[in-house]
Amino acid sequence: MSASLTVKIGVLRNAIKLLKNWHLYVAMYFRFLRDDVVLETRNGFRIKIRAKSTDLMAFTNVWLLHEYYKPGFEINDNDTIIDIGAHAGYFALYAAQFCRTGRILCFEPVKGNFDLLVENMHNNRLTNVTCHNIAVSNQNKPIRIYLDETDQAAHGVHRIGKTHIESDATTLSEIVDTNNIKQVHFLKLDCEGSEYDIFQATPDRYFEKIKKICLEYHALKSDHSLLEQLKNRLSSLNFQIVDNPTTDNLGMLYASK
């Protein structure tokens, strides 16, 4: 049996175990459905997935392939979590299963994604999640974000395209200061290459407040030098690094103290 087939079978098994209405996941997975669906987990979460989008893939990565889970990266009840590149809220919903009395701060600049993010939080009556329609970057002034017409989770500053939006932006250090955060228990980033800008603009003293970082990294123009600089810096700040590449230009980086 091929590795890809084994993964697909595992995903479908996990979907059946996780979801009450797993048949809708299967129907959407095989593209039998053209309408939006609300997936219902067995522990009571309702998660909207847009048809004709890459939402299902994003949901699969977070909930069924568990890309944000690794031993030592557990999410606890009273954690403070920052979600940069929150998309439609699939990670925030995943985190909210475990973080019930803590805080989850979500940042998503693209309006269509942000609207679904808010809807997903509202439908699950999550009062400890705050949603911010703003980008996170290396400066707190408007930036240009190029839109990917085929992948709603792939809009980014470092892309080139015909369609773009202007978004207000903030910085990681400003998020920590403005929200009076004493400790970031879990920092999640999926921001299409902006992770380097964000970290380069963050002074070392703010990393003292961060316990765990989980990010999807992107090698810009197939250049891994920025990634190596990022890993070296985090190592110098006493983070233990695990690098899980998924392609030549994409992977998951886990950093913890």
> Are 1 and 112 part of one and the same domain?
no
Mutual orientation of helices 22-29 and 3-18 as an angle, nearest 10°? 150
Residue 151 CA, distance from chain mean position: 14
> Are 185 and 110 part of one and the same domain?
yes
Residue 20 has pLDDT above 60, yes or no: yes
> Are 84 and 151 part of one and the same domain?
yes
Q: Which of 33, 63, 93 is the last residue of a domain?
A: 63
Residue 139 has pLDDT above 80, yes or no: yes
**Dist. CA 55–CA 119, nearest whole Å:** 14
The domain spanning residue 247 has which CATH number?
3.40.50.150
The strand ranges marked E within the chain are: 37-40, 46-49, 80-84, 103-107, 129-132, 135-136, 143-146, 164-167, 169-170, 186-189, 212-218, 240-247, 250-256
> Are 34 and 84 part of one and the same domain?
no
Structural domains in the chain (count): 2
State if pTM tops 0.85: yes
> Are 84 and 126 part of one and the same domain?
yes
Tokens of 147: 């839109």
Residue 151 has pLDDT above 60, yes or no: no
> Are 20 and 74 part of one and the same domain?
no
Q: How confident is the model at residue 4 (pLDDT cuts 50, 70, 90)?
A: confident
Domain that holds residue 21: 1-63
**Contact at 8 Å (CB) between 217 and 252?**
yes
User: For the chain, what is the mean pLDDT?
Assistant: 92
> Are 95 and 186 part of one and the same domain?
yes
**Dist. CA 166–CA 9, nearest whole Å:** 41
Instruction: Provide the pLDDT for residue 207.
Output: 98
Residue 161 has pLDDT above 70, yes or no: no
Residue 231 CA, distance from chain mean position: 19
> Are 235 and 120 part of one and the same domain?
yes
CA dihedral sign of residues 74, 80, 85, 89: positive
> Are 40 and 160 part of one and the same domain?
no
> Are 91 and 214 part of one and the same domain?
yes
Instruction: Provide the pLDDT for residue 52.
Output: 86
**Dist. CA 231–CA 241, nearest whole Å:** 7
Residue 147 has pLDDT above 90, yes or no: no
Supply φ then ψ for residue 199, to 5 degrees: -70, -35
**Dist. CA 151–CA 127, nearest whole Å:** 29
> Are 122 and 196 part of one and the same domain?
yes
> Are 86 and 172 part of one and the same domain?
yes
